[in-house]
Amino acid sequence: MKHLKNIVLPILVLLFVAVGCDEKEILKEVPLDFASPENSFVTVNDFNSAVYTLYDLTRQTLSDGEHRPLDYMYGTDLGYNGAQQLNLRFGSYPATLTPSSDPARYHWQQYYKIISSANIILNRMTKSKLNAAQQKTIEAKAKLFRGLAYRNLAHLYGGVPIELEEVSSPKTDYVRAPREKVYQQAAADLEFAAANLPAVTKVKDGEVTNLAAQHLLAETYVALKRFPDAIKAASAVIADPATALMQNRFGSRASEPGDVYWDLFRRFNQNRSAGNTEGIWVFQYEVDVPGGVIRSSSKEGPQLERDCAPRPYSFPYKDPKGITPFLSLGVSDYTGGRGIGRFRGTDHYTYGIWGYDWKDMRNSEFNFVRDVAFNNPKSVWYGQKLSDHMAMFRQRTDDTIRNFYPYQSKVTTPGQHPAELFVDPVLKTLNASATGTTYTDQYLIRLAETYLLRAEAYLGAGDAAKAAADINIVRARAKAKPVTPAQVTIDFILDERMRELGVEEKRRLTLNRLGLLYERTLKYCNGHPTAAKYGVDVAPHNNLFPIPFSEIERNTGAVLEQNPGYSSK
């Protein structure tokens, strides 16, 4: 054993020293292809990057994809799921909207991601190299997005937990704050944003401004029933010299037949640089540019065309020569592009609201498409109208629910689909695998809505005359018959929002805010006549979304109460 000690030990010591001397250095972990938050919130550029993510998250939640803008519309007074799916897209409320369902979880998760990202910005800012002015602007931006997120959470879910700090360790004891508290938090954030964000003339297209904050603030005040404050905030937007409703033809297709309302929704016409003074907050989309979301080769971005436009290419009927008069692919014309006819407008939306004045510009042949021409040049009916053969094209239930029905042309871009999508550039037939997006920027806030919001505030404050005046400004632009103060009710305003905004509006937010989702949906939304025998089966408790079950499950340290009607309690 002596030998062992004398020889082995020194050798070993040498070995271990040779291999292990700089152990700390060897085992140090330096990530190679991702950054660390520790050193990434320093310069103003870092903070701007973090704010760009807030833009992206907000756009994602409210506008991107097949479900997202549409979760806010299906199963409301606006429209229903025409695809006979009862447990998807609010085909039937009890089958679609449960605490375990995807819509309940998705929006919760997204808005809290916005909140948490804003909290991180606000927390890190104090330790950064930003000067006071920069801090103020960044803070205003972060608070705008956080305020928007809390406002929408309160609309959708009622009271929710309020978290204003950067979370750095697992926290599992959240409790719900009352809905009013959440609105107050949103208002506080938006007040700061409204006071400190730049003016609309000082920003790039698509950037948030003090006016966007004022509009959101106005709506939050309405929810808090602080009507004078709401009127003041909305007036700040309306009175700003840089904003005005568009009254004349403008933009990329001003020389074609149409009207100013039509121009508002054509490609490249949404931003101020296009001469548009009506857009207050416009979600930016670009085709085939990183960060622009929309791609010419796959369905990404707002899928309003896909869901809301009909699919006349599915009509089985043939002309006397045995040729189908519609081309077998979606076509970039007024037949709806590559729609699949899933979001069928309610009769109230497609017919009822227009009874007040059928000649309303927003109901023009350009804006609410009610008839289309056959587009197959091989057919002897080519160029004739669908209405010329009405009886034939309404034989079966799906003919008028999916294959063709009146729809708003703002969901599509007739003649303006990206060139890569054309299977045949002459016929303008569209690739079935990739088309379906609405290839334009999307309004989140448009000045016309601000007028309607102020009208709501005036109505709430008991001033029907001023409410009517605001509504009539919007109607006047549409050359529609004015409304009298006596006619102004909340239902009229909701109908007017339908006329002016239609599928542009995140309808569920408005209806939930007013607690009228159940009432209006029950009244106007029948659902698919063969699948939903009892309508979409909406119940009073559906005025709020359920708190996601997964969240209740994860919050092990405290009880997150479920909304009434979604559990046995």
Partner 1 sequence: MPNAYPTKPFKIMKLKHSTQRFALKIMKWSFFHLCIAVIFANVSLALDLSAQEVLDQRISVRAVDQKINTVLAYIEKNSEVKFSYSPNLIQASRKVTLNATNEKLSAVLDRLLVPHNLSYEAVGKRIILKRVLPGTKDKAIAPIKQQTQTIKLPVDRGITGRVTDDQGEALPGVNILLKTTQRGTTTDQNGAYSLSIPDGNESTLVFSFVGYEPREVEVGNQSTLDISLSPDQKSLNEVVVVGYGTQKKSDLTGSVVRANIEAFRESPNVNLAQSLQGTVPGLNIGQTSSAGQNPSISIRGRTTINGNQNVLLVVDGIIFTGSMSDLNPADIASVDVLKDPSSMAIFGAQAANGVILITTKGGKQQASKPVFNYSGSYTTQTPSNTLHLFDREGFIKKSADIDWEKAFVAPDYTQPKPGFTYLDVVNDPPLRTGFENGTDYDWWGNTTNPGFITAHNLSVSGSSNETSYFISGGYTDQKGFIMNDKFKRVTTRINLENKIFKWFTLGAQTFGSFSDYSGVSPALSGITIMPPLVSPTDENGEFILNPTGANISNPFLVSAADDFDKRNNIFGNFYANIELPFVKGLTYRVNYGHNYAWDRHYSSNQYANAAAGEAYKINSNAYDWTLDNILTYKKAFGEDHRLDVTLVAGRRERMYETTNATGTNFNNLRLIYNDLSLGTIQRVTSGAWNESYLYQTGRINYEFKYRYLLTATLRRDGFSGFADNSKTALFPSIGFGWVVSEEEFLKNSSAITHLKLRGSYGSNGNLVSRYSSLARLNIYPAYVFGDGGSTEFGQVVTTLANPNLSWETTTGFNFGLDFSFLKNRLTGSLDYYRTTTNDLIFDVSIPEVTGFNQITSNVGNIANRGIELMLNGKVLDKGDFKWNANFNLAANRNRVVSLLGLDNDKDGEEDDLVGSGLFIGQPIGAIYDYESGGIIQIGEEAPKGFFVGTHRIIDQNNDDFIDANDRVIRGRTEPAYNFGFLNEFTYRDFTFRFFINSIQGGKNSYLGQNMPNGLGIGDNIRRNNFWRELDYWTPANPGARYRGLDQGAATEYNYYGNRSFVRLQDVTLAYNLNATLINRLGMKGVKVFVSGKNLATLTKWVGWDPETGSGLTTNGRPVMKGVSVGLDVRF
Measured between its terminal Cα atoms, the distance across the chain in Å is 76
**Which C-beta is closer to partner 1: that of 426 or that of 569?**
569
The amino acid at 275: G
Closest to partner 1 by CB, 83 vs 445, is 83
Calpha distance 459→534 (Å, rounded): 34
Q: Which is nearer to partner 1, 247 or 395 (CB)?
A: 395
Query: In a 10 Å sphere around its CB, with 0-12 CB exposed, 13-18 middle and 19+ buried, how is residue 427 labelled?
Result: middle
Q: Which is nearer to partner 1, 213 or 231 (CB)?
A: 213
The CB-of-2 to partner 1 minimum distance in angstroms stands at 10
Distance, C-alpha 236 to centroid of its chain: 24
CA 246 to chain centre: 22
For partner 1, the closer CB: 11 or 239 = 11
Whole-number minimum distance, CB 387 to partner 1, in Å?
A: 21
Other beta carbons less than 10 A from residue 213's beta carbon: 30
Tokens of 468: 């009517």
Distance in Å, CB of 248 to partner 1, minimum: 21
Question: Is residue 488 within 8 Å of 454, Cβ to Cβ?
Answer: no
Between 137 and 567, CB nearer to partner 1: 567
Residue type present at position 410? K
Looking at the Cβ atoms of 161 and 302, the one nearer to partner 1 is: 161
**Cβ closest to partner 1, residue 348 vs residue 528:** 528
Residue count (the chain): 569
Asked whether 286 and 262 are in contact (CB, 8 A), the reply is no
Nearest distance, CB of residue 27 and partner 1, angstroms: 4
Neighbour tally for 164: CB within 10 Å: 14
Structure tokens at 303: 């899928």
Pick the closer one to partner 1 by CB: 39 or 355.
Answer: 39
CB of 54 to partner 1, least distance (A): 8
Element spanning 456, H or E: helix 447-460
- Quote the least distance from Cβ 89 to partner 1, whole Å: 10
At residue 345, the 3 state secondary structure works out as: strand
- From the number of C-beta atoms within 10 Å of its C-beta (0-12, 13-18, 19+), residue 347 rates as middle
The neighbour count for residue 56, using CB atoms within 10 Å, is 16
Q: Minimal distance in Å, beta carbon 484 to partner 1?
A: 41
Q: What is the nearest approach in angstroms of partner 1 to the Cβ of residue 167?
A: 4
d(CA 417, CA 336): 11
Q: Dihedral, CA atoms, 524, 525, 531, 533, nearest 10 degrees?
A: -40
C-alpha–C-alpha distance, residues 27 and 465, integer Å? 74
Smallest distance, partner 1 to C-beta of residue 17, A: 9
